[in-house]
Structure 1
Amino acid sequence: MSEVSNIPLQQSIRDLGQADKNFFNSCTGKRQGKKVKPPKFKLRKSTQSARFRTGGFKINQHQVYLAKIG
């Protein structure tokens, strides 16, 4: 775990929390608009993605440096 950046891991937990909140608010009627389906987990075959916060990367003229990845 010390070799992997914690930012994408935290972001995935944050995304799951928001998806659950939207689903349960939709079920109880607290959320306006159409009903939201329960969250789905990404499959290994799907396109993988990661988002980094401001402190998670640096952009130079010819390269991008990701924290703990290089």
Structure 2
Amino acid sequence: MNSHTNEDERGGFIIIVGELINASRKAIGEAIEKQEAEAIKKVGKDQFESGADYIDVNAGVFVGKGT
């Protein structure tokens, strides 16, 4: 856990999860295919700096089109 404090109005705490590192997002999918680690790290860092306590990473690559 990081140093963010996300206290709600009742004195409890809210955990914020950044979910933007997802292979289904065009920019992330392209970064994965091109092995551009810095682009992906930047998305995680930006989420952390915006208050995320945890970063959810979904790097699954879809085989073929459609599901």
Give the TM-score category using the shorter length. Answer: under 0.3
Larger Rg: 1
Q: What TM-score results when the alignment is normalised by the length of structure 2?
A: 0.26
Q: Quick one: higher RCO (CA 8 Å, sep 6+), 1 or 2?
A: 2
Higher strand share: 2
Q: What TM-score results when the alignment is normalised by the length of structure 1?
A: 0.26
Higher helix share: 1
